[in-house]
Amino acid sequence: MSLIQQALRLAAKGFHVFPCEPNGKLPVIKDFPNRATRDPEQITKWFEGRDFNIGVSTSSFGDGQALVVVDVDNKNGKEGDAQLLSLELEGFELPASLEQSTPSGGRHIVYVAEQALKQGVNVLGDGLDIRSRGGYIVGPGSTIDGKAYYQIDGRGQIVSAPDWLVDRLGVDVRPAASSVEPLAGVDPDRARGRALDFLKIAPHA
């Protein structure tokens, strides 16, 4: 399966995709969390005739949901799988879900959540990173130095992130925009003018 076919296939399953550099992980577009898409026309424009790898945004999934990916790292002294076992022994088990292998010997365990969660490095322990709001993973079919990302057989069904994981990570809430609605009975232009006049004579703080 070609990379463009794989990108279109992922989009049809609900994943928001974008192009990454050939043989690498870096996005080749700006603002990928907002520009990643499921639109076949845009995906075709990006990937047709190119050897881009596939980026999968974790900020969005389907219509209004998000992804939470546990990135299990087993290189450079990190033992993510051992940390997963420790979590299970403490009663924090990760249910089977969609998984993919990575060229470095790690794996991605992919969950869906109602909202994007906080992400970070070593969040659940050494070698267990989280990708969610503002993040991404490299998708299956992509290759780095001849080694491919591929889906692990038998775990093709994506499931919801467990409650304990959602509770531990917390929803990544961005500050809401300030309300611009004036208070009842207040002339906003007059109030603004009075405030500016006051600031001109107010003592220095």
Angle between helices 3-12 and 40-47 (to 10 degrees): 160
pLDDT digits (tens, 9 = 90+) for 88-101: 999 999 999 999 99
Look up the pTM and report it: 0.80
CB count in 10 Å sphere of residue 14: 15
Pairing of strands 107-113, 136-138: unpaired
pLDDT tens-digit profile of 157-200? 899 999 999 999 986 444 433 334 455 555 656 666 666 565 55
